[in-house]
Amino acid sequence: MTTDDLVRQAAARIDARDFEAALALCGRTLEEDPRSIAALINRGSALLGLGDPAQARRSFNRAINEDPTIASAWDGLGKAQYELLELVEAANSFRTAANLAEDPALSRYHRGLALLLAGNFAAGWADYEARLDVPALGHRHYATPRWTGDPLNGRRLLVVAEQGYGDMIQFARFVPLLQRFGGEILFEAPADLLEIFAPLADRTTLIASDDGLVSEDRFDCHVHLMSLGRLFGATADTIPAGIPYIAAPPNRIEAWRDRLSGPGFKVGLCWAGRPTHLQDAQRSIDSTLLTPLADIDSV
């Protein structure tokens, strides 16, 4: 098997999230060709998948030393630095990647994440808009104009929910602020979340996004939910804190009150997110690891 074959197989294993197998294939390639840039980049990606950003950073740096003009090596280095909370360095690496890439959207999006985490909100929000141009993120798009924050003057604005449920729940706090622009607000979100978004419904029309794209004759312009941070110029000091802006449905509250009645201190734990999330390994654990907690007296 040639080194090119090994590189292709390693890339396929990374796509399949079989990082151990990918790492082994990269090792075989680098034994034959220690300067293989593709193998070094694949190795870095596999190490990131395995939760070892420090070793991944070394691998991406080796690739960059061989050829500093490859965008994916710089983007990978930025990811490793981001995981290590080297946020200034990560933003610089992502900027270099964007400058080198034929399509800079993904690296600009990554840079936006690093800047936001570093607290540089103005620049972070600006780069974060690039996410809308990354097809792999699966955003819903409409032909109507994107709203830019101007007065609505009676126009109908559709707010498009995006990304994971946690993101939607966090950013729904901005939706009530849209009333000040003098238009009709529609908010599309997964049906699973409409019950907890019910407090928004007195001044906002809620629509289940599970039913497909909203008919464009129902609205005049649209905005993606997580773009509201930029449009409102949100910073750590000005993020809306009108709590509560969501609420559990009364029937669920009653059901859980009955289920949890009785003596003992009640503790709720969430140990897993959606298993299809690309970083699920970094945020979910085996529930059996929590079983010793069930033996604590009075809990």
Does residue 251 sit in the same domain as residue 172?
yes
Beta bridge partners of 206: 187
Does residue 103 sit in the same domain as residue 168?
no
Residue 264 falls in which region: left (phi positive, over 0), alpha (psi -120 to 50) or beta: left
* Structural domain count, the chain: 2
Q: 279 in a domain, yes or no?
A: no
Question: Tens digits of per-residue pLDDT, 34-78?
Answer: 999 999 999 999 999 999 999 999 999 999 999 999 999 999 999
What value does the CA radius of gyration of the chain take, rounded to a whole number of Å?
23
Does residue 128 sit in the same domain as residue 151?
no
Does residue 146 sit in the same domain as residue 233?
yes
Indicate if the pLDDT at residue 278 is higher than 80: no
Q: 273 in a domain, yes or no?
A: no
Indicate if the pLDDT at residue 179 is higher than 90: yes
DSSP one-letter string for 98-166: HHH-SS-HHHHHHHHHHHHHTT-HHHHHHHHGGGGG-GGG-----SSPBP-S---TT-EEEEE--S-HH
Q: 272 in a domain, yes or no?
A: no
Does residue 85 sit in the same domain as residue 67?
yes
Amino acid at 278: L
- Please list, residue by residue across 27-37, b when 16 or more beta carbons sit within 10 angstroms of its beta carbon and e when fewer do: eebbeeeeebb
Q: 220 in a domain, yes or no?
A: yes
The pLDDT score that the predictor gives to residue 281 is: 77
Does residue 118 sit in the same domain as residue 156?
no
Q: How many CB atoms lie within 10 A of CB 134?
A: 16
Does residue 102 sit in the same domain as residue 150?
no
**Alpha helices of 158-227 — where are they, by DSSP H?**
165-171, 191-194
**CB-based contacts of 185: which residues, under 8 Å, 6+ apart?**
156, 157, 159, 175, 178, 179, 203, 204, 205
Token pair 């983007």 is found at: 75
3-class secondary-structure state, position 70: coil
Domain boundary among 136, 171, 186: 136
Does residue 79 sit in the same domain as residue 146?
no
Q: What is the CATH number of the domain that holds 53?
A: 1.25.40.10
Token pair listed for 264: 């003992």
Domain boundary among 121, 136, 151: 136
Token pair listed for 287: 């529930």
Model-level pTM?
0.89
Q: 292 in a domain, yes or no?
A: no
Question: Tens digits of per-residue pLDDT, 235-271?
Answer: 999 999 888 999 999 999 999 999 999 888 888 888 9
Question: Tens digits of per-residue pLDDT, 68-127?
Answer: 999 999 999 999 999 999 999 999 999 999 999 999 999 999 999 999 999 999 999 999
What is the chain's mean pLDDT, rounded? Answer: 94
Does residue 73 sit in the same domain as residue 21?
yes
Q: 80 in a domain, yes or no?
A: yes
Does residue 8 sit in the same domain as residue 127?
yes
Cβ contact 291:270 at 8 Å: no
**CB-based contacts of 85: which residues, under 8 Å, 6+ apart?**
117
Q: What is the CATH number of the domain that holds 216?
A: 3.40.50
Range of the domain at 224: 139-261
Does residue 171 sit in the same domain as residue 230?
yes
Q: 291 in a domain, yes or no?
A: no
Query: E strands within the chain?
Result: 156-160, 184-189, 205-208, 221-224
Does residue 154 sit in the same domain as residue 112?
no
Q: 165 in a domain, yes or no?
A: yes
- Burial class from Cβ neighbours inside 10 Å (0-12, 13-18, 19+) for residue 155 reads middle
Token pair 């298993």 is found at: 275
Domain boundary among 136, 166, 200: 136
